[in-house]
Amino acid sequence: MSATFAALGEFGDAISFIFSERENQRGSPVGGSHNLALLWEHLKLSAAAMGLAMAVALPLGLILGHTGRFSFLTISTSNVGRAVPSVALIALFVAFFPRSPEFLNVTLALALLAIPPILTNAYVGVRQTDRDAVDAARGMGLSGAQVIRQVELPLALPLIFGGIKTSTVNVIATATIAPLVGVVTLGDPLVAFSVYGREGQIGASIIVAVLAIAAEIGLSAVQRAVTPEGIKLERGPEGRARSRFGLTKRRIQTAP
Amino acid sequence: MPPTHTAQSEGPSGYREAVELEFAEATKRYPGADSPAVDGLSLTVPAGEICVFVGPSGCGKTTAMRMVNRMIDISSGDILVGGRSVKDRDVDELRREIGYVIQQIGLFPHRTIADNIATVPRLLGWDRPKINARVEELLDLIGLPQDMSKRYPAQLSGGQRQRVGVARALAADPPLMLMDEPFGAIDPINRERLQNEFLRLQAEIRKTIVFVTHDIDEAIKMGDRIAILQVGGKLAQYATPSEILLHPANEFVEDFVGADRALKRLALLRVSDIELGPSNGGPSIRDTALVRDALSDLLQHGALHGNVVDSGGRTVGGISMEALARLAKA
Amino acid sequence: MILAQLQIRGEDDAGDSCVADNGFCPSWIADNWERYQDPFLEHLALTLISVAIGFVIAFGLALVAHRRRWLIPPITQITGILYTLPSVALFFLLLPLTGRGKTTAVIALVAYTLLIIFRNVITGLEGVPAEARDAGRGMGLTPRQLLWRVELPLALPAIMAGLRIAVTTTVGLTALVFLAGAGGLGEEIFNDMQFRSNVVVAGGLCVLLAVVLDLLVLAAQKLITPWTRKVAT
């Protein structure tokens, strides 16, 4: 019983850390508005990594999906990608490029982590567009680029945004360990216990958790918004509910 | 930018002249395959006629059709559309001039019916009022209400979707249409209706049409001419339906058209098409009935004679079992 | 850096020019191989325990939801939130409740696997052809018999696919549990993130573990679903 109260007490301290400034053991100010600087760095890092990952993975996924080549390679990329631990990837960049700026190293590592889901989803999204619609499009004289732009891309958008969502949430989560190599994100209070104290650890964890969930909810809304009306109708009421709860977005993972 | 030399229809009501289609030793060989998929196919489809490619699966009928708009490349030989080799044409431009309908229809699920129909006119750079007018006209032509234009394919029945598929293929008024089992996925009752509708439509628009089916009855019904293909992509016979039924070129064709070819031949004619004798009484038969149905009527009544009447119920002549037998044997 | 980092490049390595140059040093790796043994086993144990617990919970939830379909959306949403919560954040959010250590680590890892497995079981059960279900019912199978003899066997490929994803993802996430004081190979990586030999060996062991476990699950799947094997032509 008393443990529960203690627990509530610690969460209370953590929430106070989020909103109000205080001095740490070394006399420098932390908490409150100082969290904003950490948040800013966190967002900057995540955005840089996602921008880079999308710039690489989206065109590649669309083109590979359109041509139907390298399917094994594309699907394997995402399977291997899951197995590589984020901390190892970041450490690899730091160990092998000790002279390049930490921010760049971590950005590259996070981008590498973010690429597989985006690539695979774009690839699968294009591959699973109604092949008859694509055949009809080609038969009516749409050029390759027109087929991608007018048929494959709009039909793949829900899955593409599903991939972007997965990667964004993952990158926001992984940016938390960036302070291990000196990039001061919202993860700093988590790894620097002696500077921020326990309320800092828990407080920053809450902020990171809220950030990740907000990204998930926000991007889910975007995903729904980009789903063509005709596709929603095709799925029917049950299909719409299922896509809302993410039951359809990973159809590929169920393939044996 | 729309290429200015692309032919366009003269406006919603004028139909573009159909073209002649010629296969000249057209052959498709797939690498690694023992025999060609289409083997030296030569035939000419006169402008404005429906030519049906029919045969068992694996006979290369779809391959032959898809070589026309170069969805499949020709290995050797040539195909001429309106006298021009398809091989010399820019492939996208060629396809925009050829209507294309497939069994699965392939409507774009994310686009409205109007947008689906407008696909090729947009590619050709028509202006908006002209496109809108054309969409309206086509919806009328296929017998769909105008308010369907804002719906999505998912909101239509199978038969309606198939009609939209035909309208989409007709949108830029192509002189030539390719139709791959267009009614294959429709239930028998609606298929019959769509077939009749399409024949009425064709009587008006007079396109040159290549129509692929595996169903000999559909071939006989739809075709001005029928090309029967046998496995290995060889042309077994190319003739009018009645010629094929009367004089099958070989055993394969005889087998393929079926043991009831005499009956099938009777189905090609209407009572008013044949010479009637004097009426000797018997059950009444409408002059517009198919001769096969007239025969069925007589059999049903156990009668040797029938009394042919016109729409007003007036007797216009008589039909006898004997006459029918002569007709079937002819 | 506030968390204590061990200096794993020891005094006796001082003469080793490879180590001094921070190269990739096979001799150092051979000498220090044992250093990775215990963390490796710890990593393996944490992964297996977490996936096992996660599977039991998610599978149970899926069976319940399969009968009461209205439960699918809420369960998906709740497990979805757990899936979205960054595990590092969860380690510290659990701090007041379970403290630092392996319990916290396992709870966080289990939380992450639930959605993956639940979703795949449900998808697998939904993918059972209606005619198979119908035939089963027509032959007089009770709902329970139908579930265990027809539906679950046919859903196995999807379920096993979910298990594979859960296993590989958990191996990757277990590399972070050192932040909750639960050891694992991640701690070895962290101990000297600048030392190439160390990063490559510890990171490589993680990937190797993931690949081996993935292949094992795949082999098990092939073994128990012989009907999905392609007939050799």
pLDDT tens readout for residues A157-197: 999 999 999 999 999 999 998 888 888 888 888 887 777 77
Residue B8 lies in a domain: no
A242: confidence class by pLDDT, cuts 50, 70, 90: very low
Contact C11, A201 (CB under 8 A): no
Structure tokens given for C153? 């066997």
As for how many domains chain A has, the answer is 1
Query: What pLDDT was estimated at residue C231?
Result: 57
Q: What is the count of structural domains for chain C?
A: 1
Whether residue B40 is found in the same domain as residue B161: yes
| Structural domain includes residue B46 | yes
pLDDT at position A97: 81
d(CA A245, CA A222): 14
> Which residue of C1, C96, C161 is in closest CB contact with A10?
C96
CA atoms within 13 A on the CB side of A105: 26
pLDDT at position C195 is 77
Confidence check: pLDDT of C6 > 70: no
Q: Is residue A243's pLDDT more than 50?
A: no
Q: Are residues B178 and B319 in the same domain?
A: no
Nearest to B108 among A133, A139, A141 (CB): A133
Q: Which among B105, B86, B113 is positioned nearest to B180, based on CA atoms?
A: B105
For residues C95 and C100, what is the distance between their CA atoms, to the nearest angstrom? 6
For the cut 70, the answer to whether the pLDDT of residue C101 exceeds it is yes
- Give the pLDDT confidence score for residue A247 in this predicted structure: 40
To the nearest whole Å, the CA of C141 is away from the closest chain A CA by 27
Closest CA to B94 of B103, B77, B82, B106: B82
At B164 the pLDDT is: 92
d(CA B100, CA B120): 11
Tally of CB atoms within 10 A around C29? 15
Residue A9 lies in a domain: no
- A95 has a chain B CB within 8 A of its CB: no
In C145-204, the residues whose Cβ lies within 8 Å of chain A are 157-158, 160-162, 165, 168-169, 171-176, 179, 185-186, 189-190, 193-196, 198-200, 202-203
Integer Cα distance of C99 and B10 in angstroms:
81
Domain boundary among B259, B277, B297: B259
Q: How far is A136 from chain B (nearest CA, A)?
A: 6
Asked if B228 and B236 count as a contact pair (C-beta separation under 8 A), the reply is yes
On the question of pLDDT at A232 being above 90, the answer is: no
What's the total number of domains in chain B?
2
Q: What is the CATH number of the domain that holds C219?
A: 1.10.3720.10
Question: Torsion angle of alpha carbons B85, B91, B94, B98, nearest 10°?
Answer: 110
Average predicted confidence (pLDDT) for chain C: 84
* B7 assigned to some structural domain: no
Q: B120 and B53, same structural domain?
A: yes
Beta bridge partners of B212: B53, B180
* Set of chain B residues whose Cβ sits within 8 Å of the Cβ of A142: 92, 119, 123
Same domain, residue pair B225 and B101:
yes
Looking at the partner chain, which of A172, A202, A247 has a beta carbon nearest the beta carbon of C86?
A172
Domain that holds residue A204: 32-254
For C187, the closest chain A residue by CA position comes to A87
* Secondary structure element (H or E) that encloses residue C59, with its range: helix C37-67
Chain A closest CA to B90's CA: distance in Å? 10
Are both B197 and B150 inside the same structural domain?
yes
A246–C171 CB contact, under 8 Å:
no
B94 lies in the same domain as B204: yes
Task: Please check whether residue B16 lies inside any domain of the structure.
Answer: no
The beta-carbon neighbor of A246 closest among C76, C185, C194 is: C76
Chain B partners within 8 Å of A134 (Cβ):
106
Say whether residue C77 is in contact with chain A using an 8 A CB cutoff. yes
Q: Cβ of A154 under 8 Å from any chain B Cβ?
A: yes
Supply the ipTM of this predicted assembly: 0.82
pLDDT number for residue A165: 93
Task: Verify that B238 and B318 share a domain, yes or no.
Answer: no
**C122 at A interface, C-beta within 8 A:** yes
CB spacing of A245 vs C120 below 8 angstroms: no
Give me the domain span that covers residue C102: 37-226
Largest CA distance in chain A: 74
The reply to whether A133 touches chain B by the CB within 8 Å rule is yes
Q: Note whether A88 contacts C157, CB cutoff 8 Å.
A: no
pLDDT band at C37 (very low <50, low <70, confident <90, very high): confident
Residues B81 and B193 in one domain: yes
Flag whether C25 is in a domain.
no
pLDDT single digits (tens) B172-202: 889 999 999 988 878 888 888 889 988 998 9
* pLDDT for C192 beyond 80: no
Task: Give C197-213 pLDDT, tens digit per residue.
Answer: 777 888 888 888 888 99
Look-up of token digits 């997965």: A166
Judging by beta carbons within 10 Å of its beta carbon (0-12, 13-18, 19+), is residue A101 exposed, middle or buried? Answer: exposed
Asked if B24 is an interface residue toward chain A (Cβ–Cβ < 8 A), one would say no
Reported as a single tens digit per residue, the pLDDT across A22-37 is 777 676 777 776 778 8
Q: How far is CA B186 from CA A89, B192, C220, in A?
A: 55, 9, 44
- Strands B305-309 and B315-320, by their bridges, are antiparallel
Q: Is residue C213 part of a domain?
A: yes
Write out chain B residues lying below 8 Å of A126, CB-based.
none
Are B296 and B230 members of one domain?
Answer: no
> Judging by beta carbons within 10 Å of its beta carbon (0-12, 13-18, 19+), is residue B145 exposed, middle or buried?
exposed
pLDDT of residue A51: 96
Overall residue count recorded for chain C in this entry: 233
Q: Is the pLDDT of residue C74 over 50?
A: yes
CATH number for A243: 1.10.3720.10
Shared-domain flag, residues B209 and B178: yes
Quote the mean pLDDT of chain A.
81
In a domain, A68, yes or no: yes
**B107 contact A CB<8A:** yes
- Tell me, yes or no, whether A1 lies in a domain: no
User: Is A18 among the domain residues?
Assistant: no
Residues B296-327 have pLDDT tens digits of 888 888 888 888 888 888 888 888 888 888 87
A27: exposed, middle or buried (Cβ count in 10 Å: 0-12, 13-18, 19+): exposed
C171/A6 Cβ within 8 A:
no
pLDDT at C23 over 90: no
Strands annotated E in chain C:
none
User: Which positions in chain C touch A176 (Cβ < 8 Å)?
Assistant: 86, 88-89
What span, in angstroms and rounded, lies between the C-alpha atoms of B274 and A109?
84
Which stretches in chain B have pLDDT values below 50?
1-14
- Phi/psi at B260 (nearest 5 deg)? -95, 30
Domain contains B194: yes
Q: Model confidence over A191-228: pLDDT tens digits?
A: 877 777 777 888 888 999 999 999 999 999 998 888 88
**3-state class of A70 per DSSP?**
coil
Using an 8 Å CB-CB cutoff, list chain C residues near A80.
207, 211
Rounded to an integer, the average pLDDT of C19-40 is 75
Q: Which residue of A has its CA nearest to B123?
A: A142
Q: Do B154 and A233 touch (CB under 8 A)?
A: yes
Domain assignment present for residue B144? The answer is yes
Q: What is the pLDDT of residues A83-109, one digit of tens each?
A: 788 888 888 888 788 777 888 889 999
* Residue C8 pLDDT grade (very low, low, confident, very high; cuts 50, 70, 90): low
DSSP C149: I
User: Quick one: pLDDT at residue A248?
Assistant: 39
Q: Which domain holds residue B283?
A: 269-329
* Dihedral sign from CA coordinates of B213, B214, B218, B222: positive
